[in-house]
Amino acid sequence: MSLFNPWVLLGILMTVLGAFGGGYYKGGEDENARQQAEIASLNAKARETEQNMAKVANTYAETLRKSQNVARIKETKLRADVASGALRLSIPTQSPVCSPSVTPVTAGDNSGETRTELSGQVSETLIAIASEGDAAIRKLNQCIQTYETLKGMK
């Protein structure tokens, strides 16, 4: 048997190619396993971060709910006081001359400023506008705080 026999050369070539193919296959499997382990590790870390962020968001949402409830209670009391006449809303007038339908009211601090009392409907509307604006501001501030906290958790 000679080394230059085509069957011997074919056998050597097949052995080398088989070893290369087996090594390539084994290396691919090892890399795949390493990547899967890394992905699992990163997914676990992401889930943990997501859970922490959800806790923070829930805490801020609960804080917002509490502050909105306190504000609603104050608004209800304010509306009841205006409706019962215990509280009167007024605005300063420009001139001391008022139309017959508007009654001037002197300010309680004796500053000499002439004020005009608002009607019940106008007072209700003003309270509603102010309450809606206050609620929007509270929501915005809470949103900003939540964003800043979550941004820092990355």
Residue 107 has pLDDT above 50, yes or no: no
105: enclosing H helix or E strand:
strand 104-106
Structure confidence at residue 105 (pLDDT): 52
Q: Which segments of the chain does DSSP mark as H helices, in order?
A: 6-84, 120-153
Give pTM, 2 decimals.
0.60
d(CA 49, CA 53) in angstroms, rounded, equals: 6
Instruction: Report DSSP state, residue 95.
Output: S
DSSP secondary structure code for residue 116 in this structure: E
Calpha distance 57→150 (Å, rounded): 8
Residue 121 has a CB neighbour count (10 Å cut-off) of: 8
Which sequence spans correspond to the domains of the chain? 6-153
pLDDT tens digits along 22-69: 888 888 889 999 999 999 999 999 999 999 999 999 999 999 999 999
**Chain mean pLDDT for the chain:** 85
